[in-house]
Amino acid sequence: MIRNSSIDQHICPAIAPRIAAVLLQLPSAVRETLTEIRLRVNLPLMVSTGVSDNMITEAGTFAVTSRQAFTITQTDLLKTLQMISKNSLYALENEIRAGFVTIAGGHRVGLAGQALVENGQVKSLKNISSINIRIARQIIGCADQLIPWLINPKGHIYNTLIVSPPRCGKTTVIRDIARQLSSGIKELNVKGMQVGIVDERSEIAACQFGVPSMDLGDRIDILDSCPKATGMLMLIRSMAPQVIITDELGREEDALAVEEAIHAGVSVIATAHGHSIVDIKKRPCIKKLIEEECFERYVTLSSIPSMGSMMTVSATNGQLLYSHPEYEVRPCG
């Protein structure tokens, strides 16, 4: 079950009215399946459903050629930036430096343009020419198939790393895992657990003034806009979680915090970008966690046949516990 339309509620009020008018002409069934909206100066308005990318006409239909499509102007892009920043780009200086802004509803707005570099570090972006709006949706029950693989015979949660390329539903899946674990799962005889979320990019919980706008269950504590490594340690010290959930491990300090949490007896569920376990082992901080057998379950997701589809589940030793019928088995070691 997908909750109310994010396009109508959050996206259209935050973009140039000319673009919003086109999006609102899309059939509601299409709006409900959108995963991305791409705005590029002097190029067609494009939307993605996770399965395909489509150019859109001014009438809200799919265009066959770029000449039929609605074209984004420089004015459209500038107006969208003004609306996203509430006419104060300076207030979003740190977010722009990172290349994205998170808006109400947990939707991530990616930015591309001319980078201003100082001493090898990106200080800001100017002349922004591309915007990619990644739409966050809560899909209740999307983790139903995965959840049983994460629970050991004693009812404890396996330390789990969920792996997939971008646009495959990692955030949507861990959001539903959090909801189910914090509420309890009667069918599996699992009581509700104290779950802590470190939501560095404000995408998992979509907090407004610290309060989640997503349904995350009854026993949830959230550190919003907090660096993962710092947040995991703060939760351990202050909130006594049984499970910590976070996304996109990538830095050395993230790996150290994961180890600290596990050694403290807290189960960790996290995500990482990659096609397979083979891929993510090439990243030093994650390779270390794998070699030290910090994770007990490795899960790979795909957008095919649908967003968040579970492809494989593997154990610490690389043993393949589950494989989707359409998945071509690759070694996990």
**Cα angle 39, 248, 318; round to 5:** 130
CATH code: domain 6-134 is 3.30.450.90
**Domain range list for the chain:** 6-134, 147-323
Specify the 3-state DSSP secondary structure of 128: strand
Dihedral-angle region of residue 206 (phi above 0 means left; psi in -120 to 50 means alpha; beta otherwise): left
Q: Tell which residue, 147, 194, 195, has the closest CA to residue 310.
A: 147
Class of domain 147-323: alpha beta
Ramachandran angles phi, psi of 173, nearest 5°: -70, -45
pTM of the model as a whole: 0.84
Q: How many CB atoms lie within 10 A of CB 320?
A: 15
CA distance 170 to 159: 16
Per-residue pLDDT for the chain (333 aa), expressed as one digit of tens each?
344 468 888 899 999 999 999 999 999 989 988 999 999 999 999 999 877 899 999 999 999 999 999 999 999 999 999 999 988 887 888 888 888 888 888 898 999 999 999 988 888 899 999 999 999 888 999 999 999 999 999 999 999 999 999 889 999 999 999 999 999 999 999 999 999 999 998 889 988 788 898 999 999 999 998 999 999 999 999 999 999 999 999 999 999 999 999 999 999 999 999 999 999 999 999 999 999 999 999 999 998 888 789 999 999 999 999 998 875 544 333
